[in-house]
């Protein structure tokens, strides 16, 4: 036997040995050593929800009820856990890969946040992680908007002096050199104090600045050039200078207003649902009630239930999330949302029932039908970053 033939036989034998060893390993370890294992089907289908702050209490209450009813999917129990997180914070943590494990679904304040996260992942992965159509599309489960909430005595003076309450009137009130007496108010009121959520803790702070820019320019779409316009920056700095202390404003700004009254502020543009749920507490704690005033330039929050479509969750877990989404949109659960000042995501639900906060607080300006208004278009990523940078440089540390 020649040397060449011996080498050939040895190569064949080695190849057969490798194939045999590989077959044996596969029999002993079906997932394959070194391969990416498939996500195993868990015994309990855990739906992990990341939820915007304004609807966290409602979704928590609904999740407890849902869990107590022992829902099952394909004979497996479904359990929902809720983690509250501001929408802008959640967006950053998604994009930096800091959420581990990834939530099964996300309910942010507004759809544009979902679209921004999806765009970032699509650029990296070449596919959508949140869908805009089909069964798993992002669907609004509740709606709210930014309105003016101002103590009644202060609102009466502003209306008399300016005839209307809008961002331009608020700016002029904020820059009145002699304070409230210059506007016709009482000397003991001091200077006008604006309430705006801290944009680093509550995406509502950004929404308020976008609405102010919309009114300043008289248009619904704001650009980076608008934000960096020196004249606008001066106007916005004067306006935000009327906020007493951004560092003391936590994530739940209206609660601070209810607890501490005039020391926090005289009023500001805040989420309608937050204002309505705190109306009673303010009336019980302070002799001066709040009034609600609807602005011309409106920012809507639509709280879209957005199911994560990546391989990190199984198909059954995604379907469990979909089951809870349908539960949230059911008539009885939507009525619970109305009782917390939220406009229903299910359009068949009325907001004029006996538990409606919109009806209860009509005497303070709440309206079941929103007056004709101009809707602000959602800001893009560059506008968000420009506003946050401006805030950090000009307001945050003053």
What is the rounded distance in angstroms from the CA atom of residue 383 to the CA atom of residue 378? 10
β-strand pairing of 142-151 with 290-293: antiparallel
Tokens matching residue 170: 């608020």
pLDDT of residue 396: 72
Do 267 and 174 share a structural domain?
yes
Do 194 and 281 share a structural domain?
yes
pLDDT in tens, the chain (398 residues): 555 554 445 545 554 555 454 444 444 444 333 334 445 566 889 999 999 999 999 999 999 999 999 999 999 999 999 999 999 999 999 999 999 999 999 999 999 999 999 999 999 999 999 999 999 999 999 999 999 999 999 999 999 999 999 999 999 999 999 999 999 999 999 999 999 888 888 888 899 999 999 999 999 999 999 999 999 999 999 999 998 876 665 566 788 788 788 888 999 999 999 999 999 988 888 888 999 999 988 899 999 999 999 999 999 999 999 999 999 999 999 999 999 999 999 999 999 988 899 999 999 999 999 887 788 999 999 999 999 999 999 987 76
- Of 329, 348, 380, the domain-final residue: 329
Do 372 and 227 share a structural domain?
yes
Do 291 and 172 share a structural domain?
yes
> How many independent structural domains does the chain possess?
2
Do 150 and 116 share a structural domain?
no
Do 278 and 153 share a structural domain?
yes
* 139 neighbors 187 (Cβ within 8 angstroms): no
* 238 lies in some domain: yes
Which residues is 295 bridged to in the sheet? none
Q: Kindly report the number of other CB atoms within 10 A of residue 287's CB atom.
A: 9
Secondary structure of the chain in the HEC alphabet?
CCHHHHHHHHHHHHHHHHHHHHHHHHHHCCCCCCCCCCCCCCCCEEEEEEECHHHHHHHHHHHHHHHHCCCEECCEEEEEEEEECCHHHHHHHHHCCCCCCCCCEEECCCHHHHHHHHHHHHHHHCCCCCECCCCCECEECEEEEEEEEEEHHHHHHHHHHHCCCCHHHHHHHHCCCCCHHHHCCCHHHCCCCECCCCCCCCHHHHHHHHHHHHHHHCCCCCCHHHHCCHHHHHHHHHHHCCECCHHHCCCCHHHHHHHHHHHCCCEEEEEHHHHHHHHHHHHHHCCCCEEEECCCEECEECCEEEECCCCCCCHHHHHHHHHHHHHHCCHHHHHHHHCCCCEECCCCCCCCCCCCHHHHCHHHCCCCCCCCCEECCCCCHHHHHHHHHHHHHHCCCC
* 50 lies in some domain: yes
Do 224 and 313 share a structural domain?
no
Whose structure tokens read 């036997």?
Answer: 1
pLDDT of residue 6: 46
- Which of 262, 276, 253 lies closest to 363 in space, CA to CA? 276
Residues whose CB is less than 8 angstroms from the CB of residue 359 and which lie 6 or more positions away in sequence, other chains included: 351, 352, 353, 366, 368
Do 324 and 234 share a structural domain?
no
Q: How far apart are the first and last CA of the chain?
A: 91
Q: Which CATH number fits the domain that encloses residue 105?
A: 3.40.190.10
Do 309 and 207 share a structural domain?
no
* 81 lies in some domain: yes
Angle between helices 381-394 and 111-125 (to 10 degrees): 110
pLDDT of residue 4: 52
What is the rounded distance in angstroms from the CA atom of residue 251 to the CA atom of residue 158? 27
Do 374 and 232 share a structural domain?
yes
CA atoms within 13 A on the CB side of 225: 2
Do 163 and 82 share a structural domain?
no
Do 271 and 177 share a structural domain?
yes
pLDDT of residue 40: 59
What domain range is 270 assigned to? Answer: 145-299+365-394
pLDDT of residue 158: 97
């Amino acid at each position: 036997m020649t040397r060449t033939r011996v080498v050939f036989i040895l190569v064949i034998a080695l190849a057969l040995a490798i194939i045999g060893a590989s077959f044996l390993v596969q029999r002993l370890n079906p997932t394959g050593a070194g391969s990416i294992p498939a996500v195993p089907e868990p015994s309990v289908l855990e739906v992990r929800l990341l939820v915007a702050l304004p609807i966290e209490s409602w979704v928590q209450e609904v999740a407890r009820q849902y869990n107590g009813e022992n829902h099952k999917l394909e004979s497996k129990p479904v359990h929902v856990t809720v983690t509250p997180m501001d929408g802008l914070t959640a967006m950053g943590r998604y994009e930096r890969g800091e959420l581990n494990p990834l939530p099964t679904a996300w309910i942010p304040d507004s759809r544009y946040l979902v679209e921004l996260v999806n765009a970032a992942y699509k650029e990296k992965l070449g596919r959508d992680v949140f869908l805009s159509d089909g069964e798993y599309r992002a669907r609004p489960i509740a709606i709210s908007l930014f309105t003016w909430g101002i103590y009644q005595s202060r609102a009466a003076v502003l209306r008399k002096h300016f005839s209307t309450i809008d961002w331009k009137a608020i700016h002029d009130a904020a820059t009145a050199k002699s304070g409230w007496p210059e506007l016709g108010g009482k000397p003991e009121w001091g200077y006008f104090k604006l309430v705006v959520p801290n944009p680093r803790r509550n995406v509502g702070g950004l929404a308020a600045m976008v609405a102010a820019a919309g009114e300043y320019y008289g248009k619904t779409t704001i650009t980076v050039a608008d934000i960096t316009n020196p004249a606008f920056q001066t106007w916005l700095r004067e306006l935000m200078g009327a906020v007493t202390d951004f560092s003391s404003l936590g994530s739940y700004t209206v609660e601070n207003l209810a607890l501490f009254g005039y020391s926090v502020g005289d009023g500001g543009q805040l989420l309608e649902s937050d204002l309505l749920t705190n109306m009673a507490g303010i009336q019980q704690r302070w002799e001066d009630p709040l009034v609600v005033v609807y602005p011309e330039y409106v920012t809507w929050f639509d709280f879209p239930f957005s199911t994560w479509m990546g391989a990190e969750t199984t198909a059954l877990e995604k379907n469990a999330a979909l089951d809870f989404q349908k539960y949230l949109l059911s008539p009885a659960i939507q009525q619970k949302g109305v009782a917390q000042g939220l406009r229903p995501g299910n359009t068949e639900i009325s907001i004029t029932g006996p538990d409606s906060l919109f009806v209860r607080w009509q005497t303070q300006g709440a309206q079941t039908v929103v007056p004709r208004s101009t809707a602000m278009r959602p800001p893009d990523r560059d506008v968000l970053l420009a506003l946050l940078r401006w805030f950090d440089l000009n307001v945050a540390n003053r």
